[in-house]
Structure 1
Amino acid sequence: MKNTLILFLFLFAGNCFAQQPFVLRDDVLPDITSVNTRLFDKDGLWGYINGGADLYLEYGFEQVTVFDIKAGGIDYKADVYRMASPEAAFGIFSISRFKCQESARITPDDCLTPYQYIAAKGNFYFSISNSSGSPEAQVHLLAIAGNLLEQIENLSIEKPSLFNYEMLGPHLSGLKYISGQLGMQNGFVRWEPLFQQSKNYTAWIMPVKQDGSIFYVALVDFSDSADMETFMQKNGLTASNGLNQVVGNKIYTLFIKQNNRLVLTEGVIPESLRDYLEKF
């Protein structure tokens, strides 16, 4: 086998495409016996993940590179999804993250389970899996991930400063970025009825567990004021900043901000948080 296995991806550099080598070293794992690479664009995505394609396209999918690896009798697969922006990559990661055994092993936004490692870095979402689930296979997952992640330009994602508040900061690992109906259905189905008639919005949503109870804090951006007003009307919400509003059997609080933005909470929130959100 050659010393290196090189697949060229097109990476964004400013507004231009910059061709850079994406290298999976053949010594990254012991006993590699085969590596196969496949490439799928928007048109070919359906042939690869079938029913899941719409979700990725909604977030801003551009291309996926698939590495099929066999080493030491174990099968590994590394999917490298190039998305339209760091927010899009983080969004897919955030709604795919579930029951992490460990987090922040290689990069701040990653998640390790016995059978899978996922991460978001720059414009890329990574999903690397193994067929064994053994401790040895987990070590190999991290080795593959480290080799791939180190080659990605770190286009940092700016998560909203709203969530830096001392009460919210410890819960950042649960932060989700939702972009559209499928994202809401897959990432935060609890609020799917709220947003089922909304199309042009993005939402950062954080569950917060405190003192045995849970509440939810979201920063929602609409494309224009008409979309925001329609959202409130459809859900029986009024522009009453900082006041509890009971809809059905749930308590919501709204804080209207500039530029078609609102902060939305569900559940009973502490007064100190209410004051912070009102001033934000």
Structure 2
Amino acid sequence: MMKGLLLTCLLCLSISCLEAQEMTVKRERVFTGTGLYGYMNGGAEQFLEYGVTKLTARDLEYDGEEYALEIYEMPTPEDAYGIYSLHVFRCQRADTLGCIDCLSPYQLQTVCGNRYVSLVFPSGSERAKLQADAVLRHFLSGEEAEKVEFPVAFQSLSPKSGILKFLRGKIGLSEVSSSLTHLLEGIQYTGVWFVEEGDLYRAVVCFETPDQLEALRKKLPAGQIRNTGDLFLECVGKEDENDSEPDGLFGF
């Protein structure tokens, strides 16, 4: 993994200083393991599939605006990107100046090393939106973090947010592709990078052993295989007609 300063996008955050206004943490809660179930009301399984180890939730007030900040700590940057990729839709601003982020009318989401970060501003006001970058900087700056390691096939894709998904297991996979869910039935994989391209999809499936790669290769017509390596296979396919894109977090 490549090392770098904590999240390239911190360099492009608003230069306004939080010190000019008072940041108030009204409530802070920490959840680990199965403790997520009580907080998330049924959504914990998806996060646990990506190996979430800790959630820190803070209710904030800054410059007259309310914010809800959630920081999910994951095993790897890829896991953080994976859970992020399932929660970003219809970004008004995406991956600005090379960072992984998505700004929507009521929420700013980002990937910070092995952390998936969500900042919700219920008012949706322009002031709340303009201050959101600076609020995140207050809690995330000053550290180093590993970057997400994207497959070569998708490194040039820009923006990635809202387009490229990383699926760690059956829950995430079934949400975005019934075709791949059926194709990978009985095959062990470590992750799937997934992009829709019109009525087709393109996927890079990663494995722990060559035997599992061969098991998938035998299921696929040669024309659907784009590339292979020691422990990955890139393929294309057609999505089932009854599949539809799931709604985003909070319905935004």
* TM-score between the two structures when normalised by the length of structure 2: 0.76
Separation in 1 of the partners of 2:113 and 2:36? Answer: 21
2:46 aligned to which of 45, 50, 55: 55
> 2:212 maps to which residue?
227
Alignment of 1:143-154 (within 5 A): 143-154=134-145
Q: Percent identity?
A: 29
Q: Is the 8 A contact 2:18 2:135 kept in 1?
A: no
1:257 aligned to which of 228, 245, 248: 228
> 2:175 maps to which residue?
186
Secondary structure of 2:43's match? Answer: helix
Secondary structure of 1:154's match? Answer: strand
In 2 relative to 1, CA 106–258 (structure 1 residues): closer, same or farther, beyond 3 Å?
closer
Consecutive unaligned residues in structure 1, runs of 5 or more: 1-25, 244-252, 268-280
Deviations 1:103-130 (A, max 9, x none): 2348610000110010002111100101
Secondary structure of 2:134's match? Answer: helix
In 2 relative to 1, CA 221–29 (structure 1 residues): closer, same or farther, beyond 3 Å?
farther
Q: Which amino acid counterpart does residue 147 of structure 1 have in structure 2?
A: H
Higher strand share: 1
Aligned length: 222
Separation in 1 of the partners of 2:212 and 2:154? Answer: 24
Q: Is the 8 A contact 1:59 1:91 kept in 2?
A: yes
Q: Which has the larger radius of gyration?
A: 1
Deviation of 1:255 after TM superposition, in Å, equals 4.0
Secondary structure of 2:34's match? Answer: coil
> 1:217 maps to which residue?
202
Whether 1:176 aligns to 2:135 is no
Deviation of 1:133 after TM superposition, in Å, equals 0.8
Consecutive unaligned residues in structure 2, runs of 5 or more: 1-16, 239-252
Deviation of 1:132 after TM superposition, in Å, equals 0.6
In 2 relative to 1, CA 32–156 (structure 1 residues): closer, same or farther, beyond 3 Å?
closer
Query: Cα RMSD between the aligned structures?
Result: 2.8
Deviation of 1:176 after TM superposition, in Å, equals 1.3
After TM superposition, the structure 1 stretch with the greater mean CA deviation from structure 2, 78-87 or 172-181, is 172-181
Deviations 1:34-55 (A, max 9, x none): 5211111113111111311111
Which structure is higher in RCO with an 8 Å CA cutoff and minimum separation 6? 2
